[in-house]
Amino acid sequence: MWGKIRISFILIELFVIHKIAMLDNSLIYKILNFKIINIPLDKAFMNQTVLLIFLLAVIFLIIKAYVKKNIFAVQLVGVLISVFIALFFINDKLSFSIFLSAAGLMLIISIIEDSYSMAYLDELTGIPSRRALREDLLKLGTKYVIAMVDIDFFKKFNDKYGHDVGDDVLKLVASNLTQVTGGGKAFRYGGEEFTILFPGKSINDALPHLESLREQISKAAYTKKSTKGQKSKGKSTNSSKLFVTISIGVCEKSSKFKQPQDVIKGADKALYRAKKKGRNCVSK
């Protein structure tokens, strides 16, 4: 859906540019050479109107990169700066070609990286997504362990503190999951559920690392700031610390669980047993 909207905007932009190009040349010349501020830029390689549009684009991308932590926006700033420098050396064929080529190369790399992120990284947590998990499952050998991880009572937590806090907690848990030791790799499976792969490991190899991870997450505090409503009512403005725990079900490839999907089902059953035991534990 979002891809179709983007394409629609690009087509509209091309249509508008075409219509502008069909206007009277003298009008376009007046617009492009309009002096915004009275400073001597007559010898500049770029008139004030174009320079202003260029600067606004750079500022917009910098703000977007800062607010949304968008790496693609940072890369686009680099592309624009390279194009700007290339135009500065427009009469020097070698320098112009070098900087313009650099801009094109950065743009290609940025598009590839952005496409990879959209396809294989979870948008909320930034860790590998379920699609990445499916591909990694195809690469597993004859010995591996799969662990299914679930945040305990997450629905109640979400209902009590709101979806924004819930999203932040998902990010916190995901960040800790990426620190798993023992050669494990974490993926977001869906909702509050995650998966960890241990290629080339046995269940006895993985268990100590999963126990350590479970304990680490149980001690990881999320700092919840007081809301404006609480402050206006005279309540304490001190931030409160929230904690969550996880339950883990683990299963390894064996004669009973031959395929990766079988191992996942086995790990799911073990996860159910962990919840039956009272949660905040690892079960096999």
The ranges assigned to domains in the chain are 18-120, 130-283
What one-letter code names the amino acid at 58? V
Give residue 131's pLDDT: 92
Give residue 233's pLDDT: 47
Is the pTM value of this prediction over 0.75?
A: no
Give residue 201's pLDDT: 95
Q: pLDDT tens-digit profile of 76-90?
A: 888 888 988 888 888
Give residue 68's pLDDT: 74
Give residue 29's pLDDT: 64
How many C-beta neighbours within 10 Å does residue 111 have?
12
Give residue 273's pLDDT: 95
Give residue 232's pLDDT: 47
Give residue 36's pLDDT: 64
Instruction: Give the integer Cα–Cα distance in Å for 72 and 78.
Output: 10
Could you tell me which residues come within 8 angstroms of residue 51 by beta carbon, excluding any fewer than 6 positions away? 41, 44
Could you tell me which residues come within 8 angstroms of residue 119 by beta carbon, excluding any fewer than 6 positions away? 131
Give residue 40's pLDDT: 56
The correct CATH number of 130-283 out of 3.40.50.12780, 3.40.50.620, 3.30.70.270, 3.40.1670.10 is: 3.30.70.270
Give residue 69's pLDDT: 74
Q: Is 187 exposed, middle or buried (0-12, 13-18, 19+ CB in 10 A)?
A: buried
Catalytic one of 113, 123, 135, 192? 192
Q: Which residues of the chain have pLDDT under 70?
A: 1-4, 6, 20-21, 23-46, 226-239
Give residue 74's pLDDT: 85
Could you identify the residue written with the tokens 């979002």?
2
Q: Is 120 exposed, middle or buried (0-12, 13-18, 19+ CB in 10 A)?
A: middle
Instruction: Give the integer Cα–Cα distance in Å for 201 and 221.
Output: 30
Give residue 275's pLDDT: 94
The question of whether 192 is a catalytic residue gets the answer yes
Give residue 231's pLDDT: 47
Residue 187 tokens read as 């993926």
Q: Where are the alpha helices (DSSP H) in 36-142?
A: 48-68, 71-88, 93-120, 130-137
Sheet holding 185-190, edge to edge: 185-190, 193-199, 144-151, 246-252, 282-283
